[in-house]
Amino acid sequence: MPPRGSSFNSKMGGKRAEKPLKTLLRLFRYFKHCTGILTVAILSILAYSLASNFAVFETQKLVKTLETSVGADMAKYTGVLIGMAILYAIAAFTNFLLNRLMLSCSARVMCALRKEMFEKMQSLPIAFFDGRTHGELMSYYTNDTEAVNELLHHSITQMLISVTSLVFIFGLMTALSIPVIFIMICMGLTVFYVMRGVTRQSRKNFKKQQRELAGLNGYIEEMMEGQKVVKVFTHEEAARANFKVHNDELCKVATDANTFASIVGPLMNNISHIFYAITCTVGVLLAAPVEGQPFLLEGTFLAEQPLLLVESSKLIASLNFVRQVSNRISQISQQFNSILLALAGAERIFALVDTPAEVDEGTVTLVRVEAKDGRLTETDRRTGRWAWKRGDELIPLRGEVRFNDVDFSYDGKKQVLTDVTLYAHPGQKIAFVGSTGAGKTTITNLINRFYDITDGTITYDGIPVREIKKSALRSSLGMVLQDTHLFSGTVMDNIRYGRLDATDEECIEAAKIANADFFISHLPEGYETQLVADGANLSQGQRQLLAIARAAVSDPPVLILDEATSSIDTRTEKHIEKGMDALMHGRTVFVIAHRLSTVRNSDCIMVLENGRIIERGDHDALLRERGKYYELCTGTSELS
């Protein structure tokens, strides 16, 4: 396995985030999944903004009616009140409607986004996952998507309402007072430059916050999974200390991010109060003359400019609009933190989505065949026979694997395999022995093309593996790994994972081959027993037997056993020897084992050291050489 922090990981971690506007525009493209709903929602926002602001505009008619009618024309006064009530009712209904619609729309967008993320992860190379903890990967689906969901459902709605309201307010203000419009423009420019300055610093800190949060989640996930190990070695204090380091760093970054963002609210409120006071002052100075009352601008140039004078009714409406502008700006500032956090999360998600998928330049596929008149022909029927399809040519699948002068490095710096040459004829059992890090597992990973070789060639039935589609290549291989992973579901479901179209009878037969049928039959519900927490209700040996049964049901021509019996006790191992022999019969088998007893009957044993094959031969031949293998068998050297 390559170390964490490999070149692949570094490349991803060092990628510069996109600009916020570009990220936001890219996020908006996902609204294509709910175009109709979004259209109605936008119309509702327009209706809400128009109704609520026009109701405020009507206050100047209400005041003017009171001034002119002096209580005599109550019908006109009542008519204005009813009109305002209808406008506010429309605003209330459209506000409810747009929130409901945006909730539905955001749910669809998040569904599409999560689907794209998951599909991308299925196409990524193993190297991507080698460099990340499960907690870091889950952070994309929890913290980042939650932040984006908040943006789509709530923040964008509030922003659209605020922006459209401000546009309508400026439009309606032109009918009230030119001086107040000028004050509004000055207020808008002041807010814009203040917001831009704070945004730059906050955006950097929110990106750091999302990265630190992902790292902390990864650490927590590792500690939770490894609780037994932590307690066995009494590392509780060390775990707490390391957690404190991660937690304190997140606390510091989150504080920095929210410090700048939290400045916006009070700053906007104070700015709005200042401009409200300025509007009041200007309004009083420019108040239109009223009979019997002194006029402040009497005899001045401004007194002769009717467009600059403000009637008392219009002044009251203008002050209400100033308060409305203040409220809208305050709402924008309240969404400020959520927007920046969501954009930071969206940038991380898009970085994942933009990660190059696993390259598959192969063209050779795997097809079912049958023999007719001595020739192979392709068929859809299950015949138990397979062939490689290269163009119009059908090459029988036999299971012959060859390595020719193969070199490999995970990071391009440290050589893991050097000049490895080997061959496995169909039906042969090839074993690899050697100390940890000698390159045994790497060889099997190269057969699967989890990684691509640096130099040399690997052929499968005479076909370079680079020419074979990865899905076809891997479906022809069965693997039993040292670290067994079981999925949530029944025992039967986990065995059938080896071949999803396998019948119950075939799964049971595979379990018998692996000698797992006996313990399965004694489970509470037999093959329908539900497995939990990666098979935590089974012993390690039982989990390993299910993995062997899973490989058996796939019926592959080539079988890779990576220390498959390492978690099974000696007595259980002897019980499954016959089953394993039946499983391996007629197949090409690659075995990696620490127990030399499991490789004695191999056709060829490869002894690896520092990425090179230093000895090869069967058990008896290697003993006669009295080399490294002899030392391992006699106990003068150890597999460590």
Q: What is the 3-state secondary structure (H, E, C) of 602-628?
A: CCEEEEEECCEEEEEECHHHHHHHCCH
User: Using CA atoms, how far apart are residues 402 and 462, in angstroms rounded to an integer?
Assistant: 8
Using left for φ > 0, alpha for ψ between -120 and 50, and beta otherwise, residue 406 falls in: beta
Q: Please give the pLDDT value at position 228.
A: 57
Q: How far apart are CA 278 and CA 284, in angstroms?
A: 10
- Residues 528, 492 contacting (CB under 8 angstroms): yes
Half-sphere exposure of residue 180: CA atoms within 13 angstroms, side-chain side? 33
Tell me the pLDDT tens digit for each residue of 97-125. 988 898 889 889 988 998 998 888 888 88
pLDDT tens-place string over residues 281-297: 766 666 544 444 444 44
Distance CA 43, CA 379 (A): 57
Of residues 482 and 636, which shows the higher confidence score? 482
CA angle 89, 90, 96 (to 5 degrees): 90
Indicate the pLDDT class of residue 314, thresholds 50, 70 and 90.
Answer: low
Q: What single DSSP character describes residue 635?
A: T
DSSP assignment of 112-170 equals HHHHHHHHHHHHS-HHHHHTS-HHHHHHIIIIIHHHHHHIIIIIHHHHHHHHHHHHHHH
* Euclidean distance between CA atoms 464 and 364, whole angstroms: 10
- Considering only CA atoms, which of 165, 210, 190 is closest in space to residue 337? 210
- The whole-angstrom separation of Cα 465 and Cα 458 is 6
CA-to-CA distance for 325 and 626, rounded, in angstroms? 90
Neighbours of 364 (CB within 10 A): 21
Average pLDDT over residues 508-533: 88
**Alpha carbon separation from 39 to 43, 53, 155 (Å, rounded):** 6, 21, 17
Q: How far is CA 481 from CA 8, 126, 392, 486, 589, in A?
A: 24, 15, 36, 12, 14
571 versus 616: the higher-pLDDT residue is 616
Nearest to 332 by CA among 272, 255, 264: 264
Name the H helices within 286-412. 312-334, 336-353
pLDDT at 402: 93
pLDDT band for position 227 (cuts 50, 70, 90)? low
> What is the Cα–Cα distance from 450 to 108, expressed in whole angstroms?
34
7 within 8 A of 411, measured Cβ to Cβ? yes
Burial class (CB in 10 A: 0-12, 13-18, 19+), 583: buried
Q: Could you give the count of Cα atoms lying within 13 Å of 118 in the half-sphere of its Cβ? A: 9
Select the more confidently predicted residue: 272 or 114: 114
**Partners of residue 403 on adjacent β-strands:** 422, 458
Cα–Cα distance measured from residue 241 to residue 226, given in angstroms and rounded to the nearest whole number = 16
DSSP string, 512-553: HHTT-HHHHHTSTTGGGPEE-TTTTTS-HHHHHHHHHHHHHH
Q: What is the pLDDT of residues 565-613, one digit of tens each?
A: 665 666 666 666 665 676 777 788 888 876 777 788 889 999 998 899 9
Tokens of 500: 């999803």
Over 90: is that where the pLDDT of 417 sits?
yes
Give pLDDT tens digits for 462-497.
999 999 999 899 888 888 877 778 888 899 998 998
What pLDDT is attached to residue 304?
47
Domains of the chain as residue ranges with CATH: 18-353 (1.20.1560.10), 485-555 (3.40.50.300)
* Mean per-residue pLDDT, 368-381: 85
pLDDT computed for residue 6 by the predictor: 40
50 vs 173: which has the higher pLDDT: 50
Q: 367 — alpha (psi -120 to 50), left (phi > 0) or beta?
A: beta
Backbone angles phi and psi of 432, in degrees to 5: -120, 130
